[in-house]
């Protein structure tokens, strides 16, 4: 918040009707963003037949049940789906950090011919809608034999396109951050006999930690939530991720098993909610940093 003069502050401290209206409007929107989630969580603990007949009752007494969850866990491979999601999105995150970190450092610190063109390419890469590349990527990876293959190879078939989709964003955000770092430390290290790679891993990476954290979180969430790519490459239940499984549950419940639907939403939302509560500052900053620079 900018520092305003004492006079302004004094005036602001009084509770005026306009301030009350402000809070009411802001709270109304907050209710629309929180309430649907609370509703789903509450109803996932209710007997299926009560979800829509008594949708605002609390799950107490005979309404309460854990059946929706036990049934979902029994009928669908929720555990393995968590594992698959963790492996796929974890690998994407680590690869994006390293690859875009290296690229950002090269772009930020070196002078070379063609720098401008590469920078334009980076910005352009952020604009490619996934629709315009997915079919050729699919046939390319089919030729390599990694699509619909054994479990580890099928993971790879999702991981590689997802890495590619996040590199440009990561590089652009990191480039801005690295440029803002003073070069003195690197020069001092160089005089101490550090090579340029040691400088990158030992000095730049620790210094740019907040920026790297933002990119890590964002890549992870993006990969975890990206249904479109997962629909193309994950077609057999063995390698379903959580998001892909959710789509499966939604089509298998035929839109009538409200218990499964509510439980499935909760299963997907809870891990993200936990991550969000702890890391929301980094997440909010990161998404806008990418947007404003792009």
| 258 in contact with other proteins (CB under 8 A) | yes
Q: Which is nearer to other proteins, 123 or 151 (CB)?
A: 123
Rounded to an integer, what distance in angstroms lies between the CA atom of residue 158 and that of residue 148?
A: 11
Alpha-carbon gap, residue 37 to 129, rounded angstroms: 29
Residues whose CB is less than 8 angstroms from the CB of residue 125 and which lie 6 or more positions away in sequence, other chains included: 167, 168
The residues, any chain, with a CB within 8 Å of residue 211's CB and separated by 6 or more, are 173, 174, 177, 178
Residue from 78, 81, 97, 265 binding other proteins (CB under 8 A) = 265
If phi > 0 it is left, if psi is from -120 to 50 it is alpha, else beta; for residue 148 that is left
Told to check if 3 binds other proteins by CB under 8 A, we report: yes
CA 62 centroid distance within chain: 38
Rounded least distance, CB 106 to other proteins, Å: 3
Tokens 């792009």, located at residue: 294
Dihedral angle of Cα 46, 52, 57, 61, to the nearest 10 degrees: -30
Q: Does 255 bind other proteins (CB under 8 A)?
A: yes
Between 35 and 64, CB nearer to other proteins: 35
Q: Does 282 bind other proteins (CB under 8 A)?
A: no
Cα 270 to Cα 129: distance, rounded to the nearest angstrom:
29
Tell me the C-alpha distance between 121 and 117, whole Å.
6
Among 81, 146, 173, 246, binds other proteins (CB under 8 A): 246
Considering only residues 138 through 157, tell me which ones interact with other proteins, judged by CB under 8 A.
138-140, 142, 147
Q: Which is nearer to other proteins, 26 or 66 (CB)?
A: 26
Joined tokens for residue 281? 């500052």
Question: Could you say which of 59, 186, 219, 239 contacts other proteins (CB under 8 A)?
Answer: 186
Choose one: 58-66, 74-82, 126-134, 150-158; the region binding other proteins (CB under 8 A): 126-134
175 burial via Cβ count (<10 Å: 0-12, 13-18, 19+):
buried
For other proteins, the binding residues in 16-45 under the rule CB under 8 A are 18-19, 22-23, 25-26, 29-30, 32-34, 36-37, 39-40, 43
Given candidates 38, 52, 151, 237, which one binds other proteins under the rule CB under 8 A? 52
Among 81, 221, 240, 282, binds other proteins (CB under 8 A): 221
Return the residue of 77, 87, 134, 205 that touches other proteins, per CB under 8 A.
134
CB of 137 to other proteins, least distance (A): 5
Measured distance CA(172)–CA(126) in Å, rounded: 9
Of 59-118, binders to other proteins (CB under 8 A) are 99-100, 102-103, 105-107, 109-112, 118
Return the residue of 151, 227, 237, 274 that touches other proteins, per CB under 8 A.
227
Question: Using CB under 8 A, which of 161, 175, 212, 214 touches other proteins?
Answer: 161
């Amino acid at each position: 918040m900018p520092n305003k003069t004492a006079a302004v502050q004094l005036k602001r401290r009084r509770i005026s009707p306009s301030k009350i209206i402000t809070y009411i409007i802001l709270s109304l929107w907050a209710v629309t963003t929180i309430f649907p989630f609370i509703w789903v969580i509450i109803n996932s603990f209710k007997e299926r037949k009560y979800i829509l007949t008594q949708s605002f009752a609390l799950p107490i007494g005979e309404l309460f049940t854990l059946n929706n969850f036990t049934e979902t866990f029994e009928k669908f491979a929720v555990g393995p789906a968590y594992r698959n999601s963790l492996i796929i999105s974890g690998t994407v995150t680590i690869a994006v950090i390293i690859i875009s970190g290296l690229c950002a450092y090269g772009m930020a610190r070196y002078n070379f011919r063609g720098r401008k063109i590469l920078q334009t390419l980076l910005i352009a890469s952020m604009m490619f809608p996934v629709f315009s590349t997915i079919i050729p990527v699919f046939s390319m990876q089919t030729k390599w034999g990694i699509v619909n293959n054994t479990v580890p190879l099928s993971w790879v078939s999702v991981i590689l396109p997802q890495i590619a989709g996040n590199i440009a964003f990561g590089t652009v955000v990191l480039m801005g951050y690295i440029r803002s770092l003073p070069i003195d430390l690197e020069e001092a290290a160089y005089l101490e006999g550090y090579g340029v790679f040691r400088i990158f891993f030992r000095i730049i990476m620790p210094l740019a930690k907040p920026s790297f954290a933002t990119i890590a979180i964002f890549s992870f969430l993006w990969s975890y939530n990206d249904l479109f790519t997962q629909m193309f490459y994950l077609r057999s239940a063995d390698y379903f991720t959580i998001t892909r499984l959710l789509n499966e549950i939604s089509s298998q419940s035929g839109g009538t098993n409200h218990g499964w639907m509510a439980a499935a939403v909760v299963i997907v939302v809870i891990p993200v909610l936990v991550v969000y509560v702890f890391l929301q500052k980094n997440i909010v900053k990161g998404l806008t940093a990418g947007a404003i620079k792009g």
